[in-house]
């Protein structure tokens, strides 16, 4: 039950509607509380607390109605701006970046402020009475509503500035790059202290039954490694994941196998709940998603080579972080050091190929981008710790050299060829393990 609640909470916190809903609920509670405070105080005493407005019932009703209508008008304007912004970003940077706009806390908070102010004014408006024998004007509540309306102006100014920053190439790319750097420790636990110590290499004997198969087709969105390790330790089992977060699975396809003396149905059901399958990618455990965003922006940049070079800067930073850490382990052990989980890992070679190949192909006729690729490879040479990673970078440099032969201008071909030889020499110098570890 605790695991299900945690998974539900993770899903809700990542949604677009959660923060606005919470703010509206807070506004409703605040409206009820402020009206109760107005009722508890004597009308004359409450009037003295009205530091902005202290008029009669008709004026109060007019003020609250105006504020409420204004808030909904501004909400319509905010949504119009967001739709126009997302359409422009989608056409220029690709549809993958739209998730960044929807998940942005600033956008969610802006919508929440206007909806909360509307809800507050609406609930306050219903309590205003001008009948002689039952006259009631909630002075404190009305002044709070006016204050919220004034604060909304500041939020609107912030929103316009924030959206204008979001659609600029460098802040957008920087946000994706930071997301990529945050997600890498999940795919490469050696970068940060893992919850469980990776074990030695383990070979799973055959047959590998029973298996947990996918109940529906979709993407493996999350793998709750901690829960799998706990279950495997409790039942003295060894679990092998056949898929990793971000992979597509077909209905009936095995997602994991279990090796144990006894595999009760309760264990298999619990393991199934540790694997979340959905219709789309979730970036939480899959750094490939942010990497694909960077690559797509770099390829779509077209006539904007400096945008591509900015993407290469963040790509190089991510690959440097991977190079400087130990290789990702495919085996995890429990607290006693006994292997409990074997899982496929995301290697440096796959990341480098995913990051460089499409950028190289999409900009094969742009000498400036090819030189930028070579500069990124040269900068990574200083972070090499393993000879096999150097082989990956050598291969990428040679592929850039092949592209240089198809450049239209001879001087560009010569510049790129000269840079390729320089980068190859630097990378080959790091093939010695002693040099790589220096």
Tallying the residues shown for the chain, one arrives at 438
Neighbours of 157 (CB within 10 A): 10
| C-alpha separations of 29 from 33, 34, 151, 303 in Å | 6, 9, 19, 53
Q: Are 249 and 277 in contact (CB under 8 A)?
A: yes
- Strands (DSSP E) found in 122-231: 211-213, 218-223
Here the tokens at position 172 are 């957008």
Return the pLDDT at 249.
94
Confidence of residue 43 (pLDDT cuts 50, 70, 90): low
DSSP state of 328: P
Q: Are 130 and 56 in contact (CB under 8 A)?
A: yes
Closest CA to 293 of 338, 354, 247: 354
Peptide linkage before 135 cis (omega within 30 of 0): no
Cα distance between residue 10 and residue 157, in whole Å: 31
Res. 434: pLDDT tops 60? no
Q: Could you report the per-residue pLDDT of 196-208, keeping only the tens digit for each? A: 445 445 555 554 5
> Region 222-235: what's the mean pLDDT?
87
Tell me the percentage of the chain whose pLDDT exceeds 90: 36
Res. 244: pLDDT tops 50? yes
Q: What is the pTM of this model?
A: 0.79
Confidence of residue 438 (pLDDT cuts 50, 70, 90): very low
The mean-pLDDT minimum among 6-10, 31-35, 87-91, 263-267 falls in 6-10
What are the backbone angles phi and psi of residue 402, rounded to the nearest 5°? Answer: -65, -40
- Residue 223's beta-bridge partner residues? 275
Return the pLDDT at 207.
47
DSSP state of 132: G
Higher pLDDT, residue 430 or 156 = 156
Closest CA to 278 of 241, 245, 242, 240: 245
Return the pLDDT at 435.
47
Return the pLDDT at 192.
43
Cα distance between residue 325 and residue 322, in whole Å: 5
* Angle of CA points 339, 340, 342, to nearest 5°: 90
Res. 117: pLDDT tops 80? yes
Unique residue bearing structure tokens 């009205």 = 50
DSSP secondary structure string for all residues of 179-204:
HHHHHHHHH-GGGS--SS-B-----P
The mean-pLDDT minimum among 35-44, 175-184, 306-315, 352-361 falls in 35-44
The mean-pLDDT minimum among 86-95, 140-149, 356-365 falls in 86-95
Cα distance between residue 44 and residue 41, in whole Å: 8
Average pLDDT, the chain: 84
Res. 212: pLDDT tops 70? yes
Return the pLDDT at 5.
64
Higher pLDDT, residue 110 or 190 = 110
- Count the alpha carbons within 13 Å of 281 in the hemisphere toward its beta carbon: 18
DSSP state of 204: P
Q: Could you report the per-residue pLDDT of 347-381, keeping only the tens digit for each? A: 899 999 999 999 999 988 899 999 999 999 999 99
Here the tokens at position 103 are 């998940």
């Amino acid at each position: 039950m605790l695991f299900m609640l945690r998974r539900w909470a993770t899903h809700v916190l990542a949604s677009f509607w959660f923060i606005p809903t919470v703010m509206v609920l807070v506004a409703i509670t605040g409206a009820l509380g402020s009206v109760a405070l107005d009722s508890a105080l004597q009308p004359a005493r409450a009037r003295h607390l009205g530091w902005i407005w202290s008029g009669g019932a008709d004026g109060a009703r007019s003020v609250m109605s105006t504020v409420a209508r204004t808030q909904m008008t501004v909400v319509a304007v905010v949504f119009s701006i967001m739709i126009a912004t997302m359409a422009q970003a989608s056409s220029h940077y690709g549809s993958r970046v739209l998730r960044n706009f929807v998940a942005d806390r600033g956008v969610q908070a802006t919508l929440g402020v206007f909806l909360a102010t509307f809800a507050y004014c609406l609930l306050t408006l219903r309590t205003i009475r001008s009948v002689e024998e039952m006259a009631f004007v909630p002075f404190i509540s009305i002044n709070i509503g006016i204050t919220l309306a004034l604060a909304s102006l500041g939020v609107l100014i912030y929103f316009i500035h924030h959206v204008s920053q979001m659609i600029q190439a460098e802040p957008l790319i920087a946000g994706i790059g930071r997301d990529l750097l945050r997600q890498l420790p999940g795919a490469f636990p050696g970068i940060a202290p893992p919850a469980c110590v990776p074990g030695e290499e383990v070979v799973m004997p055959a047959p590998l039954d029973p298996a947990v198969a996918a109940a529906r087709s979709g993407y493996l969105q999350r793998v709750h490694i901690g829960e799998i390790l706990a279950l495997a330790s409790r039942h003295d089992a060894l679990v092998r994941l056949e898929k990793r977060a971000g992979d597509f699975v077909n209905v009936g396809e095995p997602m994991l196998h279990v090796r144990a003396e006894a595999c009760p149905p309760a264990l298999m059901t619990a393991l199934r709940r540790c694997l979340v399958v959905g219709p789309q990618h979730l970036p939480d455990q899959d750094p490939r998603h942010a990497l694909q965003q960077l690559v797509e922006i770099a390829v779509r940049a077209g006539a904007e080579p400096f945008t591509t070079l900015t993407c290469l800067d963040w790509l190089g930073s991510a690959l440097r972080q991977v190079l400087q850490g130990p290789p990702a382990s495919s085996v995890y052990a429990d607290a006693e050091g006994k292997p409990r989980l074997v899982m496929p890992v995301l290697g440096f070679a796959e990341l480098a190929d995913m990051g460089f190949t499409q950028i190289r192909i999409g900009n094969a006729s742009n000498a400036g981008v090819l030189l930028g690729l070579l500069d990124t490879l040269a900068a990574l040479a200083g972070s090499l710790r393993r000879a096999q990673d150097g082989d990956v970078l050598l291969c990428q440099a040679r592929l850039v050299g092949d592209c240089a032969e198809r450049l239209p201008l001879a001087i560009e071909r010569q510049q790129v060829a000269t840079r390729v030889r320089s980068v190859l020499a630097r990378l080959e110098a790091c093939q010695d393990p002693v040099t790589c570890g220096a």
